[in-house]
Amino acid sequence: MQGVYVASDLANLLRAYLDKHQIDAPSIRHQLAAWPPHAQMPMKVWWQLLEEMQTLLHEPALGVKIGQCVQPQHTGVLAYLIMHCATLGEALLHFQRFQKLLHNMSDVLLTSHQQALKLSWDLSLGASTQLSDEVFMSGLITFVKQMVQGMGLQPVALHFMHPEPCDPQLYQELIGCPVFFNAKQVSIDIPLEALSLTINSQNPYLLELLAKQAEALIDQSAHDDLLLETIRRFCAERLHQHVPTLDEVASTLNLSTRTLHRRLADRGLNFHHLLAETRFRLAKHYLSDPRLQLNQIALLLGYSEQSAFTRAFSAWAGISPQRFRNRSPFGRGLG
């Protein structure tokens, strides 16, 4: 199934947690066994599996504890790729570039703020669930610490969007840094000086090979769904003239509006989200060109006023277009 997905390799992460704690959970294990490695699991299926585990176990901070079981084999090519980078900074750039191998729910945004590198995730397709956010953030922190083992890396802070739990102190004890809740975006702050930390398993030859493989996998994934690719291209071509509608796209594809709506729903999407995602991706591309003024970018994206573009972009990225253009933790090295 195409659309919003996670890597099916994550099924083994859930199985690893069950094994570690000697939990039978036959129904959950049966569902996990249905997913082959290196496939795309619909995000809704992933969310449901996590909810079933929570219902069964009633475990506080369950997602954090699951994430702490992460091993390279649980995230496929992405994990092995960043393991072979020379420094943590290089690894995080590759993580940003190839995160879609793990999931395509949101893009990674990298900005610097008060001597820290902030990794945050946009909301162009909406928010994820509490359990899923906990697994991914805890897993990322756990894996990063494994890569620079023995160097004392500690995040500055972790921010979750969900409400504060009954025992917030438990989260801080498990993760090892201040944890905040009710945030506008999920984010992790890492000390800027940590970006130069050496990765013990670095291997430039394997890094080059795996990067090529990752590029091929992402390129294949991007073209697997001709319907989504056609809609994105149609929207991108029309936005500078007017904002496309679902009816207009359906007519171009020789489909009824109801049929197109259903096909998008089958992929875990709707036209509003797809249009927003297209605008956001184009906006980031346009902002990388210093020759384009913000009012010109607004017009290219179908906004009649720059202020409307600024509000929309700020909602997606958590910062204004101008700050997004100006802030870069790696200077010209951040593409």
What kind and span of H or E run contains 179? strand 179-180
Rounded CA-CA distance 236/279 in Å is 8
Q: What is the pLDDT of residue 270?
A: 87
Q: How many CB atoms lie within 10 A of CB 126?
A: 11
222 or 214, higher pLDDT = 214
Please say if the pLDDT value at position 223 is more than 70: no
Rounded CA-CA distance 222/219 in Å is 5
Please say if the pLDDT value at position 334 is more than 70: no
Q: What is the pLDDT of residue 335?
A: 33
- Where does the pLDDT of residue 330 fall: very low under 50, low under 70, confident under 90, or very high at 90 and above? very low
Rounded CA-CA distance 103/8 in Å is 10
Provide the 8-state DSSP code for 35. P
Q: What is the pLDDT of residue 319?
A: 87
18-27, 151-160, 324-333: which is most confident:
18-27
CB-based contact 296:321 (threshold 8 Å): no
φ, ψ of residue 244 to 5 degrees: the values are: -65, 155
Q: What is the pLDDT of residue 220?
A: 65
Q: Which tokens hold the place of 186?
A: 């999920």
231 or 189, higher pLDDT = 189
Ordered alpha helix ranges (H), the chain:
10-20, 26-33, 43-57, 62-67, 77-83, 88-98, 130-147, 168-175, 204-224, 226-238, 246-252, 257-266, 271-287, 294-300, 306-317, 321-326
CB-based contact 59:134 (threshold 8 Å): no
Q: What is the pLDDT of residue 132?
A: 98
Q: Is residue 110 helix, strand or coil?
A: strand
Please say if the pLDDT value at position 171 is more than 50: yes
Q: Which amino acid makes up residue 126?
A: G
Please say if the pLDDT value at position 10 is more than 70: yes
Q: Which domains does the chain have, with CATH numbers?
A: 5-206 (3.90.1520), 225-333 (1.10.10.60)
Please say if the pLDDT value at position 333 is more than 50: no
Q: Which of 173, 178, 143, 179 is nearest to 160 (CA)?
A: 179
Please say if the pLDDT value at position 192 is more than 80: yes
328 or 152, higher pLDDT = 152
Which whole number is the average pLDDT over 304-314? 92
Which whole number is the average pLDDT over 21-36? 93
- Where does the pLDDT of residue 49 fall: very low under 50, low under 70, confident under 90, or very high at 90 and above? very high
Rounded CA-CA distance 279/269 in Å is 15
Q: Which tokens hold the place of 182?
A: 């009710």
Please say if the pLDDT value at position 15 is more than 80: yes
User: Which sign does the torsion angle of CA 227, 232, 235, 236 carry?
Assistant: negative
Which whole number is the average pLDDT over 141-166? 92
Q: Which tokens hold the place of 66?
A: 């699951």
pLDDT tens-digit series, residues 92-145: 999 999 998 899 888 899 988 789 999 999 887 789 999 999 999 999 999 999
Average pLDDT, the chain: 89
Task: Give a three-class secondary structure readout of 280-304.
Answer: HHHHHHHHCCCCCCHHHHHHHCCCC
Which whole number is the average pLDDT over 169-193? 96
